[in-house]
Amino acid sequence: MVKVEACGICRTDLHLCEGDLEPRRPGVVPGHQVVGLVVGGGAERFAPGDRVGIAWLRGTCGVCEFCRAGSENLCPRSSYTGWDADGGFAEYAVVPQDYAYALPTDRSAVELAPFLCAGIIGYRSLLRANLPPGGRLGIYGFGSSAHLTAQLATAQGAELFVMTRGERNRELARSLGAGYVGETADRPPVPLDSAIVFAPAGDVVPYALEAVKPGGTVAVAGIHLSDVPVLNYERHLFHERDLRSVTANTRRDGEELFRLVERLPVSAHTTVVPFAEVDRALSDVAHGRAAGSLVAV
């Protein structure tokens, strides 16, 4: 059992509340970017008072072909915090010990919370995007996950190109080192090596495919995406362009991310929201009024 210190507000929470994702349990409590202190239970990995993180992935079978191959994110019996079981928009939450993360104590709970999903999914998206060292990365949409992923990429030498709506998001992208910032439909000034689509809009996918050079890769990061328009083979896919999806994450992704966060200059730009105003914050996410990460306390 964990006493919740803070819980990040994710677009996936919005998809659940708006019905894009059908609840797997009636009345489930959302929230899956949880930072808190262990207060009880029978865990052996952690002691009372330890700070832990609760993320989206909550359980896997451990025996299917995907689990055995190290791809537990594809486990057909996987379960998720705030979808299958109550999440962190509450005073207390529970988590299986094997799916909790040990967290550092030198950063605040508010700063750490967005890494539990926005950071982990962004990291997996970056891996799936197959960005070469020092390559040109395009990011479509610049919310919580995107602004963390941008920092990871630039800290490792990437050139950053951001296409997004909302002046607050564009200002944040510029402040984080984006060499080019434009509207979603704008063509970057040079061909990209890779692109990640964070916006939950399928009509963005053709723009991203047209922006990458031959042999480039586009990764789609969201758990929900509106329909992708009909693609033109020659314009969008020919010359060995790859289009990849991203499905949840493995625990290894999270562990690798937190090791990177310890040594790279990556930090969440956060806005604190009282728990009583989570509904308003979700509306801000829906309408693009939020920049960076929103965290409920």
Instruction: Note the residue count of the chain.
Output: 297
CA distances from residue 104 to 35, 54, 107, 216, 238 in whole angstroms, order as listed: 11, 14, 7, 36, 46
Helix-helix angle 167-175:144-155, to 10 degrees: 20
Provide the phi-psi class of 105: left if phi over 0, else alpha when psi is between -120 and 50, else beta: alpha
pLDDT computed for residue 293 by the predictor: 97
pLDDT computed for residue 143 by the predictor: 93
CA geometry: angle 221, 205, 162, nearest 5 deg: 70
pTM of structure? 0.95
pLDDT computed for residue 239 by the predictor: 97
pLDDT tens-digit series, residues 244-284 = 999 999 999 999 999 999 999 999 999 999 999 999 999 99
pLDDT computed for residue 105 by the predictor: 85
From first to last of the 297 residues of the chain, give the pLDDT tens digit. Answer: 999 999 999 999 999 999 999 889 989 999 999 999 999 888 899 999 999 999 999 999 999 999 999 999 999 999 999 999 999 999 999 999 999 999 988 899 999 999 999 999 999 999 999 999 999 999 999 999 999 999 999 999 999 999 999 899 999 999 999 999 999 999 999 999 999 999 999 999 999 999 999 999 999 998 999 999 999 999 999 999 999 999 999 999 999 999 999 999 999 999 999 999 999 999 999 888 888 999 999
- Determine contact, residues 295/114, Cβ cutoff 8 Å: yes
Domains and CATH numbers, the chain: 2-115+267-296 (3.90.180.10), 120-245 (3.40.50.720)
Query: What whole-number distance in Å separates Cα of residue 222 and Cα of residue 122?
Result: 10
Side-chain-facing half-sphere of 24: CA atoms under 13 Å? 12
Q: What is the dihedral of CA 138, 114, 167, 199, to 10 degrees?
A: 50
- Determine contact, residues 164/173, Cβ cutoff 8 Å: yes
Q: Which helix (H) or strand (E) holds 213?
A: strand 212-220
What's at 201, amino acid-wise? A
Residue whose token pair is 């979603």: 184
pLDDT computed for residue 43 by the predictor: 86
pLDDT computed for residue 232 by the predictor: 97
